[in-house]
Amino acid sequence: MDIIAVTRHGKVRGHLQDGIPVFRGIPYAAAPFGAERFRAPAPVRPWEGVRDALRFGPTAPKRPYRPPLDRLIPEEPIPGDECLNLNVWTPGVDDGARPVMVWIHGGSLRNGSSSMPLYDGHAFARDGVVLVSINYRLGVEGFGVFPDAPDNRGLLDQVAALEWVRDNIAAFGGDPGNVTVFGESAGAISIGALLTSPRAKRLFHRAIMQSGPPHTATREEAAKIVKLMAGELGVPATAGAFAAVDRERLLDTQAEVVGKANPITGGPAFHIVAEPGAAPVEADLLIGANREEYRLWFVPTGAVDRVSRLTLRLALLKFRIPARAARLYRSARPGARPGEILGEMATDLLMRGPLNRLADSVERAHVYEFAWRSPVMDLGACHGLEIGFVFDNLRHCRELAGDDAPQELADAMHRAWVAFAKTGDPGWQRWDSSRPVMVFDSPGSGVVHAPRDEELRIWLDRER
């Protein structure tokens, strides 16, 4: 059965899927190709008649994850120019009173798309929420820093998508006055930037940041990857010169320069540039991380076994980490390998510490930790594992979670996310001096006050 919704640019045709109205591939900005390739997003041209919104739209140009992550996080590129598009799952288009959630995918600002089956929004619409998922420009086209192009083009795309939500979501049954943005990894980092961006002010009211703390870089730091690529390409480090390079060659060079870099061990990467005139954070926050984030990068690649005691000592010296930190982590984890100790410390330094500092700095925050351990490849409670539980979509996260992931845990997490979007209260105590953390696990989830606080204090004290 076809469903028609009327947007400001024209009518779109969706369809019922398992009783839920779904609209896919709706453009929220003009195609960023040709003259628009390295510019800020431009408005969509209105269309006549009814436009089909029955299939996912094109994905932003990218290369797949490097092996072995390509097997754990499969991506299916969709060719085409109109990659600035979004999708809507809704309980119904009859009124504009339902809470809205906008999903911003992760992928180190160079991978990912809204069309991944893991991000199917059926369960949110089933439970009374209008779910929107968006694409945005990636890699050098979205986040490369040039003297002749605006910074943060991928972030500007996200703002344009939120403006589309403000202007159009009532036609899909959503309340533009009750919008929650949520995202994981680079999606959460993007939200950290949106929270203080004057451009995004009043475009959303609540925010959920999964496994991605606020992080921005100076223009000089963010421009380093462009200079490396320019050297490989033999062209000036300008948007004009990059626009003249064949896109396939540009993507190949980008993949070569990035190499084996990852969020834990570092290396050449894309960053969001710090925006001047940052505004105070006014949104309600739900933030957290997975207990063993590092295992997604350390275990499948074998890095966890290659880290020796000497490597661990050298890492402590390089990052000026006190030796007592390693002793403390080892004493709490008898039998842990040096690579596991290093990974645990990196998770706390890069994830838990910054997220706790964010919770300390705002008035209204709830904090969680995802602790259930996947049996697949000994991944444990690794980065990205919680997404299938949040979306109540375990059938599409078997690569990470296996065939027997606990449905009761998905019920609990999904219910908390829906409750937060509806009321600002996910169901447990707000963050205060007692540091309450909802630990999601199976069997049994519950609040723990100041978990592993002695370890975390090392990183909090280090930043003072």
Q: Looking at the annotation, which residues are catalytic?
A: 185, 293, 383
Within the chain, what is the greatest distance between any pair of CA atoms? 68
**Distances in Å between the alpha carbon of 231 and those of 242, 254, 261?**
12, 11, 18
Structure tokens at 104: 């911003």
* Nearest CA-CA partner of 170 in 158, 160, 179, 180: 179
The β-bridge partners of 88 are 23, 132
With contact defined as beta carbons under 8 Å apart, do 148 and 239 qualify? yes
**What gap in Å lies between CA 242 and CA 203, rounded to an integer?**
32
- Cα 379 → chain centroid: 20
**What gap in Å lies between CA 31 and CA 34, rounded to an integer?**
9
**What gap in Å lies between CA 108 and CA 264, rounded to an integer?**
11
CB contact set of 318 (below 8 Å; sequence gap of 6+): none
With contact defined as beta carbons under 8 Å apart, do 371 and 446 qualify? no
With contact defined as beta carbons under 8 Å apart, do 262 and 304 qualify? no
The residue behind tokens 């939200």 is: 191
With contact defined as beta carbons under 8 Å apart, do 453 and 433 qualify? no
**What gap in Å lies between CA 418 and CA 238, rounded to an integer?**
44
**What gap in Å lies between CA 355 and CA 325, rounded to an integer?**
19
Contacts 24+ apart (CB under 8 A), 243-249: 243/37, 243/38, 247/61
**Distances in Å between the alpha carbon of 34 and those of 62, 213, 240, 245?**
17, 34, 11, 12
**What gap in Å lies between CA 143 and CA 89, rounded to an integer?**
29
* Nearest CA-CA partner of 170 in 349, 371, 8: 8
**What gap in Å lies between CA 386 and CA 403, rounded to an integer?**
15
